[in-house]
Structure 1
């Protein structure tokens, strides 16, 4: 038994956390945002970093100060509500959406470009191979630092470093003009683009998994566990910042090589091909497949860990097998329909998760924490249903007068007002409700 981790274990823990967050989507969003931001790249990038790096880091810290578990984070909520919220987050961010999508992106951007004749069989074979590797590496729960932090992430980090240095030293063009909403609202637009990465939800999942990894390394002290979890979050945040800054700059200088590009993936692919020539696609494929692989390992491991604790019907290893098979199947069948259903659910969960994280740090200032949590999260959910319905295609124009309606953030102002009001609630007047 020991009370401290070695320096290389701490670094590996941070690398593992970095790799968990850095999925394929995180590599695709910044180039597109950089291209559109153009001359306003710095203000757009700042907004993006706040929500794509800042919020996930704060989420990791919230888990740390709450004892490293979901129960600590939601102790002032009814158990049934807290459990339902956790299950929804794990299902949507896990086998129902994020994990299958990552597998599909790995195929589309990492493997498909090398095929001369594509058919459904290639996707099936790739999915089976990809999720078999995920399953195998996820089964070794206590070895995640070694397999991810010490093996896969360094390869990923070296590949990204080559790309980042090449982009900065040898940009393929000048920074272009701003486009769309980046012309007048660069910071706000970047802020919202980072919001769409959904990494704050992932932080709540990964935080609990990282705590488990730390404890399997022999650290039982709550104070030390909290310290190492925060250190891992900081290392991951630094790594993500470096990647996002370089990819933003890549996008901002890509106007001449990404003509006709419709998304960040095609911008990244075009840029890398021109930059590295015939080996460019190999470099990009290595980055994409490793980014997807490490993220899905984190997702499957986190889901398996939670569900094995929630129910003793299946153990961790059985859940890994179930989730890996489910993700492989979903990546081949009905993904488009699942995405259509998942996005409105994410719009419901994400603001509530942000409010929950905020309350973790404000709890000691609230006279009645139990009432505060229920009122604030209830208000957040009620108003975010408007955003979710709008994203789902329902006509919600009757609410267009609400603040931030056009930005998909109707929930923000009412949630802040609820927090302020609950700060001045007299606990004695509400005491009988919880006797």
Structure 2
């Protein structure tokens, strides 16, 4: 019984770490645009927003180290650079997005103030909490997530069982691929590497279990968290689809979630949801900047100055970026995600495989291949051209922004066959 209790407690804690408020605005909008194709977009979204992140937790269960361990088989320098890039992306994009979501869902509907004022006050408070590491956040996280889940399940239940009389056709040409790409915007694959390391540290501080016992605990807790994410995401996508005739075509992601809350729970329920999501946004921002500051503190020999400077830079970036609309932040995140996500997915998948299939040679070859073939997708967003489109069209799945996938799989198979016949070439 104690083991089941530990699994559930750890699983719920892990779920709350993934449970970013920004993620909640993505699924309903995806369903809104998908209409009758909601099931297809759900498949794509679940792959990149649930399956890959939970595989990241399973990889952590195998490694039981830090984010650095994910890339060390490529090279120590690569792993350090990768970690810096991940943390930099997190404080530049998802952390400021929490301020933007807060403004659009909890401030703008009630007060006629600017996004800059909201982001300035918001990240001043974030900086204070990061520097003081207040236990208030732990209390908020402990009670906040269950309340939001109850409200969301109520919205989902009412929305599904009282659908609109009609449904608009899908606006998406490739629903599964659109779901995959929208799943990138949750940042959950990156979060898996970050929060998984936090989970390992927490378990090590509070447990005397063996390596194998901790591996089983993390593995099963990951499945619990994954099931929770699957239920919420699927329910929100379906809710957006069955009510897509009832809201204007130009509605934004935050507006849609609020509108669904208002329709199903009334204005009081929608208001409560917006306040709770604002608080959840705040805890997410503090967690991101604290984690980033901790990393750079460790990188510079536990320097408190490095921690403070990182917290200041992260908060200032939050003020600058957080004043923009959520849609704008989501759009400018696309190039960064096209660049970092293929490498992140490859590292997660390779670290879940048995060691005999994931030698250092395989790691280097597959990561380099994924990096090279993700460059066209990255450049296509920054500076589209006919010549670049022609190159992308030649690459298998290139037109779907997945040009890195087949080449990486081919190199993975080739290097493992090569290693099988030349066992002395790679460890």
In structure 2, the CA distance between the partners of 1:14 and 1:362, relative to structure 1 (3 Å rule), is closer
Give the C-alpha shift of residue 162 in structure 1. Answer: 2.8
Separation in structure 1 between the aligned mates of residue 177 and residue 267 of structure 2, nearest angstrom = 38
Separation in structure 2 between the aligned mates of residue 361 and residue 127 of structure 1, nearest angstrom = 37
Counterpart pick for 2:416 among 419, 423, 431: 423
Separation in structure 2 between the aligned mates of residue 193 and residue 99 of structure 1, nearest angstrom = 18
Partner of 2:367: 377
Residues 162-201 of structure 1: matches in 2 within 5 Å? 162-171=154-163, 173-174=164-165, 176-181=167-172, 185-201=174-190
In structure 2, the CA distance between the partners of 1:226 and 1:301, relative to structure 1 (3 Å rule), is farther
Partner of 2:21: 24
| Ranges in structure 1 where 5+ consecutive residues have no aligned partner | none
Partner of 2:143: 151
In structure 2, the CA distance between the partners of 1:430 and 1:46, relative to structure 1 (3 Å rule), is closer
Separation in structure 2 between the aligned mates of residue 259 and residue 342 of structure 1, nearest angstrom = 25
Partner of 1:266: 255
Counterpart pick for 2:291 among 287, 302, 306: 302
Give the C-alpha shift of residue 428 in structure 1. Answer: 7.7
Counterpart pick for 2:43 among 36, 43, 46: 46
- Give the 3-state SS of the residue equivalent to 1:152 in structure 2: helix
Give the C-alpha shift of residue 431 in structure 1. Answer: 4.7
In structure 2, the CA distance between the partners of 1:54 and 1:44, relative to structure 1 (3 Å rule), is same
Give the C-alpha shift of residue 352 in structure 1. Answer: 0.8
Counterpart pick for 1:409 among 392, 402, 425: 402
Separation in structure 2 between the aligned mates of residue 249 and residue 103 of structure 1, nearest angstrom = 27
Separation in structure 2 between the aligned mates of residue 153 and residue 339 of structure 1, nearest angstrom = 24
Give the C-alpha shift of residue 118 in structure 1. Answer: 4.4
Separation in structure 1 between the aligned mates of residue 295 and residue 374 of structure 2, nearest angstrom = 26
Partner of 1:346: 337
Give the C-alpha shift of residue 134 in structure 1. Answer: 5.8
User: Residue deviations 1:347-372, cap 9 Å, x none?
Assistant: 22110111112222335343x81211
- Give the 3-state SS of the residue equivalent to 2:247 in structure 1: coil
- Give the 3-state SS of the residue equivalent to 2:248 in structure 1: coil
- Give the 3-state SS of the residue equivalent to 2:92 in structure 1: coil
Give the C-alpha shift of residue 175 in structure 1. Answer: 5.5
8 Å CA contact 1:257–1:271 kept in 2: the answer is: no
Residues 227-376 of structure 1: matches in 2 within 5 Å? 227-315=216-304, 319=307, 322-334=309-321, 343-366=334-357, 369-376=359-366
Give the C-alpha shift of residue 285 in structure 1. Answer: 0.8
Partner of 1:55: 52
Residue 97 (1) aligns with residue 84 (2): no
Q: TM-score, normalised by structure 2?
A: 0.87
- Give the 3-state SS of the residue equivalent to 1:331 in structure 2: helix
Give the C-alpha shift of residue 101 in structure 1. Answer: 1.7
Separation in structure 2 between the aligned mates of residue 338 and residue 28 of structure 1, nearest angstrom = 13
8 Å CA contact 2:35–2:241 kept in 1: the answer is: yes
In structure 2, the CA distance between the partners of 1:227 and 1:286, relative to structure 1 (3 Å rule), is farther
8 Å CA contact 1:76–1:369 kept in 2: the answer is: yes
Separation in structure 2 between the aligned mates of residue 133 and residue 70 of structure 1, nearest angstrom = 24
User: Residue deviations 1:318-363, cap 9 Å, x none?
Assistant: 73x5554433322222566987775423322110111112222335
Q: What root-mean-square deviation, in Å, do the aligned CA atoms of Structure 1 and Structure 2 show?
A: 3.1
Separation in structure 2 between the aligned mates of residue 392 and residue 119 of structure 1, nearest angstrom = 26
Give the C-alpha shift of residue 214 in structure 1. Answer: 1.3
| Ranges in structure 2 where 5+ consecutive residues have no aligned partner | none
8 Å CA contact 1:28–1:263 kept in 2: the answer is: no
Separation in structure 1 between the aligned mates of residue 160 and residue 330 of structure 2, nearest angstrom = 35
Give the C-alpha shift of residue 44 in structure 1. Answer: 2.3
Partner of 2:108: 112
Give the C-alpha shift of residue 149 in structure 1. Answer: 5.4
Give the C-alpha shift of residue 391 in structure 1. Answer: 1.5
- Give the 3-state SS of the residue equivalent to 1:258 in structure 2: coil
8 Å CA contact 1:19–1:291 kept in 2: the answer is: no
